[in-house]
């Protein structure tokens, strides 16, 4: 499809959007999945303990060596906040006491380690493995905020003051931010050692993400935002018919809704006996379940792209991917998959299907050349990253550690003050060469061009080695959808967009790969994309779209960006 036609279609879509009083913005681009902005009031899930989650921040809290207040759970979904509790750790003998604003509770003298206190201990014991004691009459955690103190022999050892508690969230001492959805165990970054990896990009090599599934013998766990690829569905069904343990977990409420095509694909999976779960509802732990990965036997596939024609189908997007041949990496992602797919906010597709209406979204049908073939590399050191929890800090730390160069590819970036952008600018200020490439998709182009102008002007004034370009993709792919960073010899790729919502509220999965060969591979792709020049059809699209849509779309999209980030 020519870019001229893309421009005309985009203009028509904007007109439809402007004419619809309550039209979901996600439906604007038939080939795009769109992603919500941060919503601090988003409801979360009721907590069920995850006994498999050995790498959970909350579990490390409950074995803390230092005395202190570890968790507060004041605002549950249950009637009267039944089951509320707090967790403290005490480490030596003494008269230990927990106080709120009105009541004092002495703790057992013969106890050492974490202990939970609840006015509803029977319920609380179903929510935590920490020993639970009964709180006295009148001891309750206020939803509206209060101060909790842990005292030893009358001296204050720890004190926590909190404001209004978000419903369905618990306060966790070691988390940042402290309020964490009930049912979400935050993970630490997980180094999984040296591995053989296969690096690839899309749309060049769509087979690279699917062939491992086609040869699976033991297990296939697919985690995703959307899944509408017939080829992926066929590979999953064939694996199931070979008696492979096959499971799928997806987002149940993607922006723009679930397409007719995706519904048909998921129906087909169910009809063939495949277990498909979706994350949805008011108790959900994530703003969006947004990762793109699979566990296949002892291999892990980590992608920036969705399981759909425009992504893994190779019909549109520039994406990055990697296959990691490592039992340790596979098992870490399998633990993430089990944690995410077995909670109160998951529903079987078969049940969910009866409650929703689907939308008409045309799949991408582009055809692109293979300019960059997959590359196998031995001895790559891999670390699994997840959000919420550790991915944001890991990306910032890698950028801050760079000595020579940083390359970034993203659909869009949320402003100069966003933490990732700030880290990139600070790298340039200390002499690191920084290049950033972002998308020219119609729903991102105005913001991306404005930000590029601002940041490039800032860099020019200070003579920094920094350049941000808005992609003009030409014939190599339709649009940028990759989410990657190359910092010296480390590559980070995965599902996380450069905005606060992705880093703090979505479930995202990424890998950090320390390998000079892998860095050279993705850097070669980046260099090629960064240097591309537009053709005449792009000039038509750029001028026509900006002029015709600028006045109306800017109003629409700027207002919408308070709630939505166009990233998928």
User: Which among 300, 335, 353 is the end of a domain?
Assistant: 353
Same domain? For 176 and 202 the reply is no
Q: Which residues pair with 131 in a beta bridge?
A: none
Q: Rounded distance, CA 469 to CA 465, Å?
A: 13
Q: Rounded distance, CA 12 to CA 26, Å?
A: 15
| Cis? peptide before 388, omega within 30° of 0 | yes
Q: Which residues pair with 479 in a beta bridge?
A: 317
CATH code of the domain covering residue 204? 3.30.870.10
* DSSP codes of every residue in 472-494: --TTS-SEE---EEEETTEEEEE
User: Which among 146, 181, 216 is the end of a domain?
Assistant: 181
pLDDT at 81: 84
**Crossing angle of helices 419-429/445-461, nearest 10°?**
30
- Segment 343-353 shows an average pLDDT of 96
Same domain? For 421 and 489 the reply is yes
Q: 150-168: b or e for each residue (b if 16 or more CB lie within 10 Å)?
A: bbbeeeebbebebeebbbb
- Segment 390-414 shows an average pLDDT of 97
Contact 127, 47 (CB under 8 A): yes
Sequence-ordered strand ranges (E) for 37-131: 68-73, 85-90, 96-99, 104-106, 113-118
Same domain? For 307 and 454 the reply is no
Asked if the structure places residue 483 within a domain, the reply is yes
pLDDT at 20: 37
Domain encompassing residue 538: 382-565
Count the neighbouring beta carbons within 10 Å of the beta carbon of residue 106: 11
Same domain? For 82 and 197 the reply is no
Token duo for residue 129: 């493995």
Token duo for residue 434: 């920084």
Q: Rounded distance, CA 503 to CA 353, Å?
A: 29
Q: Rounded distance, CA 539 to CA 63, Å?
A: 60
pLDDT at 201: 98
Q: Rounded distance, CA 65 to CA 46, Å?
A: 28
Name the least confident of 46-60, 121-135, 326-340. Answer: 46-60
Same domain? For 132 and 165 the reply is yes
Q: Rounded distance, CA 525 to CA 277, Å?
A: 35
pLDDT at 135: 87
Residue 430, classified by CB atoms within 10 Å of its CB into exposed (0-12), middle (13-18) or buried (19+), is exposed
Same domain? For 102 and 240 the reply is no
pLDDT at 83: 86
Asked if the structure places residue 335 within a domain, the reply is yes
Position 175 confidence tier, pLDDT thresholds 50, 70, 90: confident
CATH code of the domain covering residue 95? 2.60.40
Asked if the structure places residue 118 within a domain, the reply is yes
Sort strands 104-106 and 219-223 into parallel, antiparallel or unpaired: unpaired
Token duo for residue 248: 């799928």
Examine the pLDDT at 44 and tell me if it is beyond 70.
no
Same domain? For 168 and 257 the reply is no
> Which percentage of the chain shows pLDDT scores above 70?
82
> Could you give the angle at the alpha carbon of 549 between the alpha carbons of 548 and 550, nearest 5°?
100
Same domain? For 221 and 308 the reply is yes
Radius of gyration of the chain (CA): 25
Same domain? For 145 and 249 the reply is no
Asked if the structure places residue 47 within a domain, the reply is no
- Segment 533-542 shows an average pLDDT of 39
Looking at every residue in the chain, the average pLDDT score rounds to: 85
Name the least confident of 105-119, 206-220, 245-259. Answer: 105-119
Asked if the structure places residue 7 within a domain, the reply is no
Per the rule left: phi > 0, alpha: psi between -120 and 50, beta: everything else, 94 is: left
User: Which among 157, 181, 205 is the end of a domain?
Assistant: 181
Same domain? For 339 and 410 the reply is no
pLDDT at 16: 37
Name the least confident of 128-137, 189-198, 414-423. Answer: 128-137
Contact 36, 368 (CB under 8 A): no
Per the rule left: phi > 0, alpha: psi between -120 and 50, beta: everything else, 375 is: beta
pLDDT at 65: 65
Asked if the structure places residue 439 within a domain, the reply is yes
pLDDT at 497: 98
Asked if the structure places residue 507 within a domain, the reply is yes
Examine the pLDDT at 8 and tell me if it is beyond 70.
no
* DSSP category for residue 20: -
Same domain? For 227 and 292 the reply is yes
Same domain? For 205 and 348 the reply is yes
Token duo for residue 408: 């970034």
pLDDT at 282: 86
- Segment 366-377 shows an average pLDDT of 95
Asked if the structure places residue 37 within a domain, the reply is no
pLDDT at 304: 98
| Cis? peptide before 444, omega within 30° of 0 | no
Name the least confident of 278-287, 338-347, 382-391, 535-544. Answer: 535-544
Name the least confident of 73-77, 113-117, 420-424. Answer: 73-77
| Cis? peptide before 177, omega within 30° of 0 | yes
Token duo for residue 448: 């991306």
Our count of domains for the chain comes to 3
Token duo for residue 543: 């001028």
């Amino acid at each position: 499809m020519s870019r001229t036609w893309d421009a005309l279609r985009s203009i028509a879509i904007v007109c439809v959007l402007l004419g619809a009083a309550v039209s979901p913005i996600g439906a604007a681009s038939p080939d795009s999945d769109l992603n919500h902005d941060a919503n601090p009031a988003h409801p979360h899930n009721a907590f069920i303990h995850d006994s498999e989650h050995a790498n959970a921040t909350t579990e490390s809290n409950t074995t803390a060596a230092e005395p202190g207040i570890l968790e507060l759970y004041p605002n549950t979904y249950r009637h009267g906040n039944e089951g509320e509790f707090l967790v403290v750790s005490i480490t030596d003998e003494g008269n230990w006491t927990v106080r709120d604003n009105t009541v004092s509770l002495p703790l057992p003298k013969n106890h050492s380690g974490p202990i939970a206190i609840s006015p509803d201990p029977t319920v609380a014991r179903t929510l935590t493995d920490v020993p639970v004691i009964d709180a006295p009459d009148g001891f309750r955690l206020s939803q509206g905020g209060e101060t909790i103190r842990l005292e030893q022999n009358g001296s204050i050892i720890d004190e926590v003051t909190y404001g209004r508690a978000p419903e369905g969230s618990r306060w966790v001492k070691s988390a940042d931010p402290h309020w964490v959805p009930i049912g979400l165990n935050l993970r630490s970054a997980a180094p999984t050692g040296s591995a053989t990896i296969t690096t690839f990009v899309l749309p060049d090599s769509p087979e690279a993400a699917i062939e491992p599934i086609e040869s699976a013998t033991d297990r296939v766990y697919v985690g995703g935002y959307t899944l509408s690829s017939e080829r992926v569905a066929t590979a999953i069904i064939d694996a199931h018919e070979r008696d492979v343990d096959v499971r799928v977990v997806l987002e149940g409420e993607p922006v723009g809704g679930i397409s007719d095509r995706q519904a048909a694909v998921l129906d087909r999976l169910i009809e063939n006996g495949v277990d498909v779960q979706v994350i949805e509802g008011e108790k959900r732990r994530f703003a969006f379940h947004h990762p793109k990965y699979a566990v296949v036997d002892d291999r892990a596939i980590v992608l920036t792209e969705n399981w759909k024609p425009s992504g893994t189908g190779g019909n549109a997007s520039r994406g990055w991917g990697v296959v990691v041949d490592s039992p340790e990496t596979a098992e870490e992602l399998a633990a993430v998959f089990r944690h995410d797919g077995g909670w109160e906010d998951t529903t079987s597709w078969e049940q969910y299907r009866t409650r929703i209406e689907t939308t008409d979204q045309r799949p991408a049908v582009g055809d692109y050349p293979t300019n960059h073939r997959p590359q196998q590399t031995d001895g790559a050191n891999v670390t699994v990253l997840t959000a919420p929890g550790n991915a944001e800090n890991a990306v910032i730390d890698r950028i801050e550690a760079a000595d020579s160069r940083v390359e970034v590819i993203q659909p869009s970036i949320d402003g100069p003050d966003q933490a990732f952008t700030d880290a990139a600018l600070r790298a340039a200020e200390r002499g690191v060469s920084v290049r950033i490439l972002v998308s020219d998709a119609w729903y991102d182009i105005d913001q991306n061009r404005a930000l590029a102008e601002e940041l490039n002007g800032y860099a020019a004034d200070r003579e920094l080695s920094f350049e941000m370009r808005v992609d003009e993709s030409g014939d190599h792919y339709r649009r940028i959808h990759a989410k990657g960073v190359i910092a010296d010899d480390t590559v980070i790729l995965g599902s996380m967009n450069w905005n606060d919502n992705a880093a703090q509220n979505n479930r995202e999965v990424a890998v950090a790969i320390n390998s000079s060969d892998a860095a050279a591979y993705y850097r070669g792709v980046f260099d090629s994309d960064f240097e591309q020049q537009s053709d005449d059809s792009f000039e038509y699209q750029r001028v026509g779209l900006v002029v015709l849509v600028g006045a109306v779309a800017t109003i629409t999209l700027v207002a919408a960006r308070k709630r939505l980030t166009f990233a998928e």
